[in-house]
């Protein structure tokens, strides 16, 4: 058990464009995925299980893929 107030173990450091970092952070918080970032540092995400990894991948895709790529990806899902 981790003591309260301790930073969780970093399992992934996510390089996100500076302009998108806040939105990615907010979305991960909505999904209850543990993440944090210090001023001038990359976003850090704790990936505890495969579901979290898939959710992180999906969130990142929303901010890095072109609209055309996202439309194509959605069509493949159906």
Q: Distance from CA of residue 47 to its chain's centroid?
A: 9
Query: pLDDT tens for residues 34-77?
Result: 998 888 888 888 888 889 989 999 999 888 889 999 899 889 88
Q: At what angle do helices 67-77 and 50-64 cross, to 10 degrees?
A: 140
Predicted TM-score (pTM) of this structure: 0.73
DSSP label of 47: -
* Residue 67: its H or E element: helix 67-77
Maximal CA-CA distance, the chain: 45
| C-alpha distance across the termini of the chain, in Å | 42
């Amino acid at each position: 058990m981790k003591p309260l107030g301790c930073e969780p173990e970093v399992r992934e450091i996510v390089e996100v464009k500076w302009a998108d970092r806040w939105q990615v952070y907010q979305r991960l918080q909505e999904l209850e995925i543990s993440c944090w970032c210090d001023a001038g540092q990359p976003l850090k995400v704790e990936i505890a299980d495969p579901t979290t990894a898939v959710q992180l991948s999906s969130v990142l895709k929303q901010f890095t893929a072109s609209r055309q790529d996202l439309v194509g990806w959605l069509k493949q899902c159906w």
